[in-house]
Amino acid sequence: MELTEEQVLRYSRHILLPEVGGVGQSRLLSSSVLVIGAGGLGSPVALYLAAAGVGHIGLVDMDQVDLSNLQRQVIHRTSDVGRMKVSSAKEKIALLNPDVRVTEYPFPLMADNASDIAVQYDVLVDGTDNFAAKFLINDLAILTDRPLVHAGILRFVGQVLTVLPGKSACYRCLFREPPPVGAVPTCSEAGVLGVIAGVIGTIQATEVLKILLNRGELLVDRLLTYDALPASFRNVKVRRNPRCPVCGDHPTITELHDYEQPVCTTPVIP
Amino acid sequence: MSVLIRIPTPLRPLTNGQNEVQETGGSVQEILDKLTVRYPGIGERLLDEKGDVRRFINIYVNEEDIRFRDGVQTALKEGDELSIIPAIAGGSR
């Protein structure tokens, strides 16, 4: 893809980087990323990928913007309260970078629709807020052979893991199955410092760009954890589990399943 | 062996808000036993009825998952760090 004069200027700080250059920038412009969840994590992911010139961004979110979202979901504005999150986000992306095409999916990702959507994208980003979705998205990545950048945030902490299907450990190698309903609180129950979504979401966006550009060392086979209170980043090793039910040598999960897990439940804080 | 244990946010209410505690013990099991005595309630959050580490919680000695060593029998040496890392789910709403 030939860059226009305006694009050379817009992306000049990328093009100056030998690791990106004009070739890398063209690659970004012809890439596609599916961002699942247009909330706390999805906001910085979508904004930075749009700014970076990722040519096609898919946004999946069934929710409408709520006033309580604005403390951390920086793609939405006060005037967007009540609008579909995907529409609000699409509008901000268009204002930021007209090079980016956005496809809206204003419904939940489920076992019966997820694969058809995922196969249209190069990379998947998990910006969801519940274990049911996180396990579904992990299995989706493995079954459709799409790289996945997973993350979770809660209170003052966040976690990021990149999954390269067939090559690295997956989320299910790390945590075998969703915890029982109510065993682990979600943000809506336990709270989250809004900026954690920014820290972790921008790390996810960084991983996506590294995957698309084929540069650097990905967060594979290690879980990055960030704790804001002591201001510490730590890596723990994650190994591919040969007995993993979805990516192991003899998988028992060969198709997607929906998990029953209402998002708002009474927490039994572990 | 004196070991530093990193307590994840959701468990801190049980450790009087401390994010790191010190215990002495020769194995992960010994440390977990002592934690359970000192901070009532923490044991059942980490272990199931059979005494196995719950599947949505991982325990690391230094940077290594104990599942890939000797599980709760993993031996500890002076200065080891034990991290408890639960799955967390927030992100969107």
B27-83 pLDDT, tens digit each: 999 999 999 999 998 988 888 888 888 888 999 999 889 988 999 999 999 999 999
Over residues A118-126, mean pLDDT: 98
* Distances, alpha carbon A267 to alpha carbons A95, A185, A264, B14, B46, in Å: 39, 5, 9, 15, 16
Average pLDDT, chain A: 92
Task: Using a CB–CB cutoff of 8 Å, tell me whether A4 touches chain B.
Answer: no
Residue B22 to chain A, least CA–CA distance (Å): 17
pLDDT tens, position by position, A219-269: 999 999 999 998 999 999 999 999 999 999 999 999 998 876 544 333 333
Q: Would you state the pLDDT for residue B3?
A: 95
Confirm whether A170 is domain-assigned. Answer: yes
Given a contact cutoff of 8 angstroms between Cβ atoms, the answer to whether B72 and B66 are in contact is yes
- B2-86 maps to which CATH number? 3.10.20.30
Q: CA torsion, points A72, A33, A124, A52, in degrees to nearest 10?
A: -50
Q: Which pLDDT score is estimated for A185?
A: 63
Q: Which residue of A has its CA nearest to B92?
A: A39
Cα–Cα distance for residue pair A136/A119, rounded to 1 Å? 15
Q: Is A229 on the interface with B (CB under 8 A)?
A: yes
- Does residue A62 register a pLDDT over 50? yes
pLDDT at B44: 87
| CB contact A37 to B (< 8 Å) | yes
Mean pLDDT of A198-226: 98
pLDDT attached to residue A188: 63
Q: For tokens 């920038």, name the residue.
A: A25
pLDDT above 90 for A213: yes
The structural domains of chain B, with segments of one domain joined by +, span 2-86
- pLDDT over threshold 70, residue A182: no
Q: What pLDDT band is residue B10 in, cutting at 50, 70 and 90? A: confident
Count helices and strands (H / E) in chain B: 2, 5
- Chain B CB contacts of A192 under 8 Å are 90
Give the pLDDT mean for A18-40.
97
Residue A83: inside a domain, yes or no? Answer: yes
Whether residue A127 is predicted with pLDDT greater than 70 in this model: the reply is: yes
Per-residue pLDDT at B91: 59
CB A188 within 8 A of CB A256: no
CATH number, domain with residue A118: 3.40.50.720
pLDDT digits (tens, 9 = 90+) for A129-159: 888 899 999 999 999 999 999 999 999 999 9
Separation CA A174–CA A244 (nearest Å): 9
Q: Is the pLDDT of residue A111 over 80?
A: yes
Q: Tell me what ipTM this predicted complex has.
A: 0.73
Lowest mean pLDDT among A39-43, A106-110, A182-186, A259-263: A259-263
The alpha-carbon gap from A9 to the nearest alpha carbon of chain B, in Å, equals 34
Task: Residue A154: give the domain boundaries.
Answer: 21-237
Q: How many domains are contained in chain A?
A: 1
Interval A74-87 mean pLDDT: 98
> Which of A153, A175, A225 is nearest residue B91 as measured by Cβ atoms?
A153
Nearest-CB residue to B65 (from A131, A230, A237):
A237
- Residue A137 confidence (pLDDT): 97
Residues of A in contact with B8 (CB under 8 A): 157
